[in-house]
């Protein structure tokens, strides 16, 4: 016969067991919570090379997130670039383009000025007047990026030897020079070396010249200084010029001939930069 005392003891043990299980589940849930959250904005409509990169990025970043313990989401709805939506995320990525609506631009500027973090790739810095993407956002192109307008590019997409210019958390695991993935390399109207807010992380090494194959002479670089990755010390940001996969335009097949993330050294730059951006101040 079960006495009242035995029932009471069993109840106490049951309560204690529940408490232990609850604590274990809570600790386990906390261990699975992401270190930070990333939201990537993209358009993915214009150039097949940029579309290819966007698709590649949206395949590769979730794998990085699983490996390094952060969360990754993506959206092609630029109307999500608002204060309420951005409050869920610690890092914003622009995979190909930039916002055009005034309210989207204002929300992004406020997000960055209030301590948000950003990484942009390749075409996200493009601005040319006249074009579909004119230079009509002075804060973004001249103050935030510092680069000004687009001033030219190499063609056909080719690999370049990049040189580490300064010590930074994003470059800590890179050799002094390395061969980057094939890319269409941009140059800019502003000399970033003269801007005290800009810290250039990677530039084209002279061993890359001549860079590009043409056929137009101005698409082949023979000399000069070309920054390819930099940060603005006033913000938590990194711009990376990579993000243009090589496409077989010459034979009208649109076959993908190269991938940005098929380069482990270059991937170290991206993930170390992203982890630095995601760290809480």
Structure confidence by residue, pLDDT tens digits, 69-123? 999 999 999 999 999 999 999 999 999 999 999 999 999 999 999 999 999 999 9
Q: Residue 232: in which H helix or E strand, if any? A: strand 227-232
Query: Does 20 or 127 have the greater pLDDT score?
Result: 127
Q: Which residue is listed with tokens 């002279």? A: 206
Per-residue confidence band for 6, with pLDDT thresholds at 50, 70 and 90: low
Residue 201: half-sphere exposure toward Cβ, Cα within 13 Å? 24
**Percent of the residues in the chain that have a pLDDT greater than 70, as a whole number:** 88
Distances (CA, A) of 186 to 199, 240, 248, 268: 18, 11, 20, 21
CA distance 83 to 168: 30
Determine whether domain 48-69+112-278 maps to CATH 3.40.50.880.
Answer: yes
Buried b / exposed e over 206-227, threshold 16 CB at 10 Å, is eebeebbeeeeeebbbeeeebb
pLDDT band at residue 7 using 50, 70 and 90 as cut-offs: very low
pTM over 0.85: yes
Rounded Cα distance, 37 and 52, in Å: 24
DSSP letters for 95-133: SS----SHHHHHHHHHHHHTT-EEEEEGGGG---SSSSS
Q: Residue 91: which H helix or E strand, with range?
A: strand 91-94
pLDDT at 107 (0 to 100): 98
- The pair of structure tokens assigned to 192 is 């970033």
Looking at residues 248-270, what average pLDDT do you find? Answer: 95
Could you read off the pLDDT of 162-177 as tens digits, one per residue? 999 999 999 999 999 9
Name residues whose C-beta falls within 8 Å of residue 48's C-beta, 6 or more positions apart in sequence.
Answer: 247, 249, 254
Distance in angstroms (rounded) separating the CA atoms of residues 242 and 250: 22
* pLDDT tens by residue, 184-234: 999 999 999 999 999 999 999 999 999 999 999 999 999 999 999 999 999
User: What does the block give as tokens for 210?
Assistant: 């001549």
* b/e burial code for range 44-83 (CB count within 10 A of at least 16 → b): beebebbbbbbbbbbebbeebbeeeebbbbbebebeebbe
**Residues near 257 by Cβ (< 8 Å), separated by ≥ 6?**
182, 245, 246, 247, 248
Three-state secondary structure call for residue 72: strand
Distance CA 26, CA 13 (A): 20
Between CA 236 and CA 233 the distance in angstroms is 7
Let me know: does 118 contact 110? Beta carbons within 8 Å: no
Give residue 26's pLDDT band: very low, low, confident or very high (50, 70, 90): very low
Q: In the chain, where are the structural domains located?
A: 48-69+112-278
């Amino acid at each position: 016969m079960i006495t009242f005392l035995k029932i009471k003891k069993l109840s106490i043990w049951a309560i204690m067991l529940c408490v232990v299980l609850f604590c274990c589940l809570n600790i386990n849930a906390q261990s699975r919570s992401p270190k930070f959250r990333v939201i990537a904005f993209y358009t993915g409509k214009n150039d097949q090379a940029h579309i290819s990169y966007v698709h590649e990025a949206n395949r590769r970043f979730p794998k990085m997130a699983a490996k390094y313990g952060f969360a990754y989401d993506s959206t092609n709805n630029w109307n999500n670039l608002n204060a309420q939506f951005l409050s869920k995320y610690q890092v914003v990525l622009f995979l190909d383009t930039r916002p055009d609506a005034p309210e989207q631009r204002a929300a992004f500027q406020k997000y960055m000025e209030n301590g948000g973090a950003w990484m942009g790739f390749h075409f996200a810095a493009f601005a040319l007047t006249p074009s579909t993407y004119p230079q009509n956002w002075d804060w973004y192109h001249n103050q935030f990026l510092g680069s000004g307008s687009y001033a030219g590019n190499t063609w056909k997409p080719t690999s370049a030897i990049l040189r580490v210019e300064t010590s930074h958390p994003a470059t800590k695991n890179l050799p002094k020079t390395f061969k980057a993935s094939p890319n269409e390399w941009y140059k800019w109207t502003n000399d970033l070396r003269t801007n005290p807010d800009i810290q250039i992380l990677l530039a084209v090494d002279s061993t890359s010249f001549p860079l590009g194959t043409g056929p137009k002479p101005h698409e082949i670089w023979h000399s000069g200084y070309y920054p390819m990755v930099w940060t603005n010390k006033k913000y938590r940001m990194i711009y990376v010029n990579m993000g243009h996969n090589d496409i077989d335009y010459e034979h009208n097949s649109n076959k993908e001939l190269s991938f940005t993330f098929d380069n482990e050294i270059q991937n170290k730059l991206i993930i170390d930069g992203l982890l630095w951006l995601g760290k809480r101040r």
